[in-house]
Amino acid sequence: MIYERLRTVQTADELLDQAFRRAVRSAMSGSGRVVNIQRAMIQATSDVLSDRLHRIVHDFPNFDELSPFYSELTEIVVGTDQLRMSLSSVHWAGEMVRSLAREALQNARRDDPVRVRKAYYARISSIVHEVDRDLRFLNEARNKLRKLPDISDVPTIVVAGYPNVGKSSFVRRVTDAKPEIATYPFTTKGIYIGHFTHGGLRYQVVDTPGLLDRPLSDRNEIELQAITALNHVGDVVLLLIDPSEHCGYPLTAQTNMFREIEKTLAIPVIVAANKCDLADFHGEWEYRVSAETGDGVDDVMQRVIEVIDSRTSRASSTSDTTPETRGY
């Protein structure tokens, strides 16, 4: 995932402490005239500090090159404009540290080198402390962004439905391994990500507890934005319904969710009635499944794959590239 390798962003005091320590070691290992020692300390401080500041900037990706999914999540979680401004400020600080070092290195040849070095330390300390708020913001952003889900760029099925309708059991049934758990903005629960292979292709199944599991009318604007971000990663929504109502929610509320998702997400929605193995399962449903026994699961998954394949074929036919052979 693009943010996974972001390193900890140090505070102004931590950066300055590292730079000054390196300068002292440089002075202790040096010899000769005072001017040479002081110039070596200025150079060492500049190298460490400017390198650290520029590394912070380079660690973050180019936001213009993010996928729509991660671009929208970045905006939701931390705010892209604020990230850009803070990174710009840190870059400015790194450039100022280098520029002032060049000036100080020249002045140390003709003025008191100790006084010049101390003046340089005072000026760069002021500059770095000036961006301390930005450094702290970037570290907080780093901690949040590293927790974003690692969504692969493969055909993706988003599983929706009220709590206890059997979503997690369904994901475990259709995927090869136990789903991974990853955090997602504005839900206290992790999303579940599983994978399976069909016809030589790898598919992704995403269960989103805390998101597509209650009426969208109950959501605030930011929560709806987090849900809408699924448009950029999902190819189809599989809405699971529990006609037995053992989940604790009336059937009317569950079916209403179908209409809400259709209005909110611009991707196809397929409805499957789960728990068909129970005695009080009722109603006429095109897809009757049991995540517990596996009954009907292959049929609905085949339909899901057909829908994804159809969407992919249409997208390929409108592009300038040769359509990819799916090999189902």
Please tell me the pTM assigned to this model.
0.77
Domain assignment of residue 1, yes or no: no
The pLDDT, as a whole number, for residue 308 is 92
Domain match, 175 and 281 both: yes
In this structure, what CATH number is given to the domain that contains residue 34? 1.20.120.1190
Q: Which two tokens stand for residue 18?
A: 């590292």
Domain match, 212 and 310 both: yes
Report the distance separating Cα 257 and Cα 271, nearest Å: 10
Number of domains making up the chain: 2
C-alpha pair distances (Å), 139 with each of 42, 49, 146, 190: 27, 17, 11, 22
The pLDDT, as a whole number, for residue 147 is 83
Domain assignment of residue 2, yes or no: no
Q: How do the pLDDT tens digits run along the chain, 328 residues long?
A: 789 889 999 999 999 999 999 999 988 776 678 999 999 999 999 999 999 999 999 999 999 998 888 888 888 889 999 999 999 999 999 999 999 999 999 999 999 999 999 999 999 999 999 999 999 999 999 999 998 877 888 899 988 888 888 888 888 889 875 666 566 565 546 667 888 999 899 999 988 765 666 676 777 766 666 677 677 888 999 999 999 988 888 998 888 888 888 888 888 999 999 999 887 788 888 899 998 899 999 999 999 999 998 877 766 555 444 433 322 2
Domain span at residue 256 reads 156-317
Domain match, 101 and 209 both: no
Domain assignment of residue 231, yes or no: yes
Mark which of 116, 145, 174 sits at the end of a domain: 145
Report the distance separating Cα 182 and Cα 128, nearest Å: 35
In this structure, what CATH number is given to the domain that contains residue 289? 3.40.50.300
Domain match, 80 and 173 both: no
Q: Which two tokens stand for residue 272?
A: 């499957």
Count other Cβ atoms within 10 Å, centred on residue 291.
24
Domain assignment of residue 151, yes or no: no
Domain match, 93 and 120 both: yes
Domain match, 110 and 178 both: no
Report the distance separating Cα 137 and Cα 143, nearest Å: 10
